[in-house]
Amino acid sequence: MQNVRFFEKKGPFPFSEIVKKIDPTKDLAELNNFKIYGIDSLINAKENEITFLNSSKYQKESLQTKAFACITSLNLSKFLPENCIKLNVKNVLFAVTQVSKLFYPNADLDYPDSNLQDSSELTDLYTNVNFGKNCMIGKNVKIGQNSFIGSNTIIESNVLIGSNCIIGSSVVIKNTLISDNVNIQDGCKVGVKGFGFIPIPEKNLRMPHTGKVIIEEGVEIGANSTVDRGSLSNTLIGKNTFIDNQVHIAHNVKIGKNCMIAGQVGFAGSSIIGDNVVIGGQAGVSGHLKIGNNVKIGGGSGVINDIPDNQQVMGYPAVSLKDFIKKRKK
């Protein structure tokens, strides 16, 4: 199910052409016969693909990469395997954006799906699915038995929805794979482009988002919540996790199983949340953090550091609950 592709992919391209895209001064014509078939994350990139490294937090993943080449900076290149070609640049994310656009020229914007049909015209395809009024369905959409789709909902092309799902009214779903027994309440937007921009003096540059959203079995997502698709990897919500209203989940976030997330919580991009995590309302989790299993985060907290397993934290910046109570008593 995870191999469903939502964006047209170009290529392969000669490695020398990719190098010229990010640094016109370099000449690697001797590698012109080697073809690069895609760009992917450190862990997922294959031997004929390119990847990137932009933070020392990913040392472990960088040492394991199988990518042919890696876009990185001079001070981070030491963390890469010897057989991986290092493409050292000043602005890693700018270079990654240039290469991503080469393979996925239409993934930096969310173009409206031009293949939508009213569900009333598709009764032969979805014999055991209940539709409300004015539902619009794209091409190659699969919806499982006994699912209900609310009025004015849009499900764009190639989306997969499992059995016994409830999708509320005025929901938009794109670039998403949904397992069985999932409940997505009214007004949610799932699989939309993340807030990926490269700030440069001349003009902010949009970063393509070519990943997808994967929602595992038994998940519930509250009304008016937003879930961004991944940039290169995927955004994931684990089995039996319950999410309250007006929660924002940014690109590449991975939330574990059996989590409870209260209203108006915000997750910045690429954070990893463990299993059985409880987060109080209006808490915020910064990007690229790891929150361990069985962690409890108090309402209104601001998390700016990793949290090990089994911790309880509160406050801004979030500290252990014991330290937070001590400060309040002073």
> If 0-12 CB within 10 Å is exposed, 13-18 middle and 19+ buried, where does residue 202 land?
exposed
Which of helix, strand or coil describes residue 314?
strand
Give the sign of the dihedral formed by CA 312, CA 317, CA 323, CA 326. negative
Question: Which residues are annotated as catalytic?
Answer: 251
CA 187 to chain centre: 20
CA atoms of 277 and 48, how far apart (whole Å) = 38
The answer to whether residues 180 and 162 touch, using CB atoms and an 8 Å cutoff, is yes
CA atoms of 173 and 237, how far apart (whole Å) = 15
Neighbouring residues of 252: CB distance < 8 A, sequence distance ≥ 6:
194, 211, 230, 231, 232, 233, 234, 235, 269, 270
CA atoms of 259 and 315, how far apart (whole Å) = 20
